[in-house]
């Protein structure tokens, strides 16, 4: 049986939590107010309008026409 002390568990947990999210991807989850959300919203709306005009789902539109 493997015996692990409390300090070893802490080290393992810290090591594991550091590998879950790399620092280079952290900015993907941070709020940035650089106008990108307006562009994203306009893009989403345009996709929804085109899919609705064809009477198909946005997922299908993206898979077949984008």
pLDDT for 1 equals 47
Three-class secondary structure of residue 12 per DSSP:
helix
Q: What is the C-alpha separation between 50 and 13, in angstroms, rounded?
A: 48
CA distance 9 to 15: 10
Report yes or no: 42 and 52 within 8 Å, Cβ to Cβ: no
**Domain interval for residue 23:** 6-65
The answer to whether position 16 is within a domain reads: yes
Q: What SS3 class is residue 24?
A: helix
Per-residue pLDDT of the chain in tens (66 residues, 90 and over written 9): 455 555 655 555 555 555 566 666 666 666 666 777 888 889 999 999 999 999 999 999 999 988
Whether residue 41 lies inside any domain: the answer is: yes
Distance CA 58, CA 48 (A): 6
Evaluate whether residue 1 is within a structural domain.
no
Question: What does the pLDDT read at residue 35?
Answer: 75
Domains held by the chain: number: 1
Q: Is residue 38 one of the residues assigned to a domain? A: yes
Is the residue at 57 inside a domain?
yes
Residue where the block lists tokens 């080290």: 11
Task: Tell whether 13 is covered by a domain.
Answer: yes
């Amino acid at each position: 049986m493997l015996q692990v002390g409390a300090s070893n568990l802490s080290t393992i947990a810290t090591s594991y939590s550091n590998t879950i999210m790399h620092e280079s991807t952290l900015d993907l989850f941070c709020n940035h107010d650089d106008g990108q959300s307006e562009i994203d919203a306009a893009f989403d709306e345009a996709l929804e309008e085109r899919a609705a005009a064809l009477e198909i789902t946005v997922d299908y539109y993206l898979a077949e026409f984008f």
